[in-house]
Every structure is written in structure tokens, then in C-alpha cells.
Amino acid sequence: MDPFYIVSLIFGVGSIVVMTILSAHGDVRNFIDIASVFCTVGGTTVATLISTHYKNYKKVWQLAVIGAKPPKENPRDIIPTLVSFAEKARREGLLALEDNIEELDDEFLKKGIQLVVDGTDPELVKAIMNTELNALATRHEAANKIYRDMAALAPAWGMIGTLIGLVLMLKNLSDPSQIGQGMATALITTFYGAVLANGVFSPVANRLEEYSRVEYTTKEVMIEGMLSIQSGDNPRIVEEKLLAFLSPAERRQARQSR
């Protein structure tokens, strides 16, 4: 679990709770309305289900858990492996890499190195691996879109709940003493929608997109590395090619860790 994620979540939720307690002078019941919860959460859920395939929607909680963990991949971490493969290939030939393929945990890299060892044409290797990479990006985009849709829909359903409340309030104007309470109840759904969109759905979507970018870059590093190994590049040249994908700060860290 990513500690920064947990701390941020606790701080964010805590800030809202403290604000509501202070605003309500300790009586948080003013901010609790079951009908508003059903309208906002239920409406958002139904609208999302209509706009996406159910098999993608089933991944909502799984994606939230993924977002709570540090990224599994980092382009900097794979560079030493690719450089060591380049050194072995230069020393013993490409076929010698077959002994190391089963040791790899990443199926993408394993497939690419296997194609290289099998003597597949470099252009075909590049085409196959880029197709795999594009398919990965498409799957990630479909998953991330769910949270983007929910971030857009939650405020809208909050507003719908507010409109329902206002209609009911305006129909009972005969009792002026109830107008203030009715208005407050009507606005709670807008509050719920704004909190869900900006405190949950959008941050999770942004985090997942960041993870997708990291994974995409890692796969690009793998493709560049396997093609350089296949072409017989000097290991030092291979390393410099792959370090070019990193920021200057990450390059310094990678060189210092050698």
C-alpha cells in the first residue's frame, strides 16, 4: 500500500469531516440524508452502467485497490536487466538469452526477448510489440474512462437531487418555517455529488492515468532495449538509449545506483 495515498486519503476525508462538524456546531446530522445518498450514488451507478460494459464496471473496486498501491513497474528498474542481456548477447550470442527468458516476470518482455532469440525480423518484432503496447493502452483507457464518467456524472446527479428537493419545497410554500430546512436538504445532494467527483472519482482517475503512463513508458523502454540487443549494439550504447526515456534526475539516480 502506498503510504502517501493513505495519508492523502485520511487527510482529505478528515478535512471534510472536520469542516462539517465545525459548520454544524457538532451536529453532523445536518449533512446526512439517506434519500440524497440514494439519488447521488444510485444515479451515478446506473448512468455509468448504461454508458459502459458491465465487465469493465466490475473492475471499479479492483482499479481503486490498484491505485492505492505503488506502481508495479518503473522504466528505471528494467534498464539494468536489458543492459545485462545486451552484454550476454554480445559475449555469447542471442541464443544464450534463451536460458534467461523463464526468469523474467514480465510477460511483455518475455515475449519480446523470445521473438529476438527466435531470429524474428526486427521490423516484425517492433510491429508485434507495438501492437501489444497499443492494446494495453486501449484497455487502460477503457478502465480509466469509468472513473472519468463517474466524476462527470456525480455532480449532475447531485444537481438532479437538488432540483427534486426544490420542486418539493416550492410545492409546500404554505409553511414558511420549513423553507430553510427544505432548501438545506435539497442542496445536500449537490454537496454529495461534488465530494464524490472531486474527492474520489477524479483523483483515482488521475492516479490510474499516471500509472498507465509509467507502464507505457516502461514498455517502450523494453521495446527499444530488445531491438537494440537484436541489432548487436554495444551495451553502453544500449544503456544510453534507454536512459534517454528518463528525466535528468532519474538518469542521475540510475547512474549512481550502478
Handedness of CA 184, 32, 45, 141 (dihedral sign): positive
Q: What is the pLDDT of residue 32?
A: 79
Query: Residue 27, exposed/middle/buried by CB under 10 A (0-12, 13-18, 19+)?
Result: exposed
33 and 188 Cβ atoms separated by less than 8 Å: yes
Q: What is the pLDDT of residue 220?
A: 94
Could you tell me which residues come within 8 angstroms of residue 12 by beta carbon, excluding any fewer than 6 positions away? Answer: 199
CA 202/CA 63 separation, integer angstroms: 13
Q: What are phi and psi of 246, to 5 degrees?
A: -95, 160
Read off the pTM: 0.79
Per-residue confidence in pLDDT tens, the chain, 258 aa: 566 666 666 766 667 666 666 665 656 677 778 888 888 989 998 888 888 777 766 666 666 666 656 667 788 889 999 999 999 999 888 888 888 888 888 899 999 999 999 989 999 999 999 999 999 888 888 878 888 999 999 999 999 988 888 887 887 777 776 676 677 777 888 989 998 998 888 888 888 888 889 889 999 999 999 999 999 989 999 999 999 998 888 888 777 666
Q: What is the pLDDT of residue 21?
A: 65
Note the helical H segments in the chain.
3-23, 34-37, 43-51, 54-57, 60-67, 75-92, 98-101, 107-117, 122-170, 179-196, 202-230, 235-243, 248-256
CA 142/CA 120 separation, integer angstroms: 32
**CA angle, corner 99, sides to 98 and 105, nearest 5?**
90
Q: What is the pLDDT of residue 205?
A: 87
Q: What is the pLDDT of residue 139?
A: 83
Half-sphere exposure of 232 (CA within 13 A, CB side): 5
